[in-house]
Amino acid sequence: MADIKKVVLAYSGGLDTSVIVRWLQDTYQCEIVTFTADLGQGEEVEPARAKAQAMGIKDIYIEDLREEFVRDYVFPMFRANTIYEGEYLLGTSIARPLIAKRLVEIANEVGADAISHGATGKGNDQVRFELGAYALKPGIKVIAPWREWDLTSRETLMAYAKTRDIPIDFAKAGKKSPYSMDANLLHISYEGGVLEDPWTECEESMWRWSVSPEAAPDTATYIDLTYERGDVVAINGEVMSPATVLTKLNEIGGANGIGRLDLVENRYVGMKSRGCYETPGGTILLKGHRAIESITLDREVAHLKDELMPRYASLIYNGYWWSPERQLLQGLIDESQVNVNGVVRLKLYKGNVIVVGRQSAENSLFDTRISTFEDDGGAYDQKDAEGFIKLNALRLRIAANNGRSLLK
């Protein structure tokens, strides 16, 4: 372990990562650099500085990455209408490549030999952090304490903290939420506790960002989303930055009971896991984006995107954001968004996001003259449909005439 002189640790200031600081010092006898990212998790990150200083840390990085997170990670993901296993909007997954990138960048800046994180050996995050780190800095050493130490529970962590003078509010730590939670500007996830029984309904008090659909207003809320190249740039005509857009949609969506999800998913490491997610703004973004694409995308381009999306979603879920295949797909997706411009009107009501209007003055492929059920003035010759149908039925007719009947 003598070759490890300096480590950059992804540090939250909580019990786990505070214990990791001291464990790294004890085990590797190395200098620690802490990195704390503000991704919009809704908690103060600055107190992490005082906690790190109390443990003798001199190099402390605390960074507001909210705009970069939404602009360079969340929005590109939503251009693909990305969902994992039909439901999950990848709120945890999409934050990990940014954290991995900054860990590597800081390691380069300070000349660190290794990076470290607090992800457990059972979860996906260890894979996401480490795949990203190795892709960006192939020779980096990764230290994952949960795969090395013999601390196996919250009680053993607290005992370790007490015996090694780690600055922890033990009264507060002892009253921790029964759930393992992850939050950023896109979502909050909840795992553990009663959720480990997939038959048990979570209690209403668990949810933090949204009211229940039953308690949502009895009057619908209407919003207009303005899109440029597939990204929302304004809400109700007010131009906003990416992070501000998502913050506002979380607020509006949460107030209308939107974005709750109870899911059993397949982790990359092989096990099934039950989690609950709150993604109010993301739920609105997905619905709105599909609506603006419905009038601006060519049919075959839209269908091709839908075919590629599950592969793209798996790449993000499994930690391959920093891979050539994801970048290749991203280029295709981004090119498809050149003409995805316009306005979508949504009706939000008791957990539902309902599309009620969409328009694109310059890029709409919806031609009323052709699609109308009224007199189209000759814009479409209905007689053409006869030959179209016969040509498409030709192979079916040949097979049937050959005795290959589909009727059993």
CATH number of residue 205's parent domain: 3.90.1260.10
Question: Do 116 and 206 share a domain, yes or no?
Answer: no
Question: Do 149 and 230 share a domain, yes or no?
Answer: no
Question: Do 135 and 263 share a domain, yes or no?
Answer: no
CA distances from 350 to 51, 255, 259, 357 (A): 42, 9, 11, 19
Question: Do 149 and 217 share a domain, yes or no?
Answer: no
- Is residue 244 one of the residues assigned to a domain? yes
Nearest to 18 by CA among 118, 143, 113, 151: 118
Q: Where does a domain end: 325, 340, 359?
A: 359
Question: Do 136 and 254 share a domain, yes or no?
Answer: no
Partners of 59 in the β-ladder: 33
Question: Do 170 and 314 share a domain, yes or no?
Answer: no
Give the H/E segment covering residue 260: strand 260-266
The pLDDT assigned to 322 comes to 98
Q: Which residue range is the domain that position 107 belongs to?
A: 6-66+94-176
Predicted TM-score (pTM) of the model is 0.94
Q: What does each of the 408 residues of the chain score in pLDDT, given as a tens digit?
A: 568 999 999 999 888 899 999 999 999 999 999 999 999 998 888 889 999 999 999 999 999 999 999 999 999 999 999 999 999 999 999 999 999 999 999 999 999 999 999 998 888 999 999 999 999 999 999 999 999 998 888 789 888 888 888 877 655 555 566 788 899 999 999 999 999 999 999 999 999 999 999 999 999 999 999 999 999 999 999 999 999 999 999 999 999 999 999 999 999 999 999 999 999 999 999 999 999 999 999 999 999 999 999 999 999 999 999 999 999 999 999 999 999 999 999 999 999 999 999 999 999 999 998 888 888 888 888 999 999 999 999 999 999 999 998 887
Domain count, the chain: 2
The pLDDT assigned to 221 comes to 98
Give the H/E segment covering residue 143: strand 141-143
Question: Do 235 and 196 share a domain, yes or no?
Answer: yes
The pLDDT assigned to 42 comes to 85
Which amino acids are annotated catalytic? Answer: 16, 96, 125, 180
- As to burial, measured by CB atoms within 10 angstroms (0-12 exposed, 13-18 middle, 19+ buried), residue 153 is exposed
The pLDDT assigned to 175 comes to 56
The pLDDT assigned to 155 comes to 86
Question: Do 233 and 256 share a domain, yes or no?
Answer: yes
| Residue 37 near residue 63 (C-beta atoms within 8 A) | yes
The pLDDT assigned to 170 comes to 56
Distance CA 297, CA 299 (A): 6
Q: Specify the CATH number for the domain of residue 47.
A: 3.40.50.620
